Amino acid sequence: MSRQLEGKTAIVTGSSTGIGAAIAKRFAAEGAKVVTNSRSRERAKTVADEIENEGGTAIAVESDVTDHDEMAAMIEATVDEFGSLDIMVNNAGLTRIGPAESISPEDWRHVIDVDLTGVFFGSQLAGRQMIEQESGGAILNISSIMGGIGLHKRAPYCAAKAGVNNLTQTLAVEWAPHEIHVNALAPGFIKTDITDQTQSAADYTDEDIRNRTPLGRFGTLDEMTECATFLVNTDHYVTGEVLHADGGWTAYAWGSSGE
């Protein structure tokens, strides 16, 4: 491996499972010092221990992305431990499923709080630290193809991810003078718990998804980490971009190639 992130320090929120855990492990393998995160320190520590066992450097920090003070404390702990914050990945997310007319106020607020407000808190606090350091940095927000298209029974999630996409562009413009690159990664159908929930909500089978995807298959965690590594490696001219890693899903206008 090329060690593209050697000497960098990265926080990955929601990194106890799925795409977040895969990104944390990939960044460590690329040479970054990684802070894993979950609302459960035990779950975050499991991933940090796996990184350490593979020869990487990681610590686990418990925090709730919807709590501004807890997020500030995580960034402070990161800087205390490693001396800087160079990469912030806002990955933590969840969904609630149901017809729009039946979504409760509590479920609506919970999804927006985690999937959008949590991204803003993480970005804001990381941006402050990077501006203070005067050495630039990278912020990567994990969005979804649902941020640009509609899917029934997913109103809060789709709305939150659309907000993430616009927030990404706004922060990229605002913080460009500080050499802070802000981008988003919008995965398509990757085999994770949240994808399984999406399939259930939309009554999609695996075959339906393969037929609907021009590349004819699900994406992999390795493919997502490849995209994430590129986007946080700031040796490029890319900022304010929402990269759709979806096998052509959003480009496919007709619908399904199934017989």
Active site residues: 157
Q: Distance (Å, rounded) from C-alpha 252 to C-alpha 230?
A: 25
Query: Which residue, chain included where needed, has tokens 């965690």?
Result: 221
Q: Distance (Å, rounded) from C-alpha 87 to C-alpha 182?
A: 10
Q: Distance (Å, rounded) from C-alpha 229 to C-alpha 234?
A: 10
Distances (CA, A) of 48 to 21, 64, 89, 95, 255: 9, 18, 16, 25, 41
Q: Distance (Å, rounded) from C-alpha 158 to C-alpha 130?
A: 29
Query: Which residue, chain included where needed, has tokens 């929930």?
Result: 197
**Which tokens go with 194?**
């949240």
Identify the bridge partners of residue 87 per DSSP, sorted by sequence position.
10, 138
Residue 21 three-state SS: helix
Q: Distance (Å, rounded) from C-alpha 200 to C-alpha 119?
A: 26
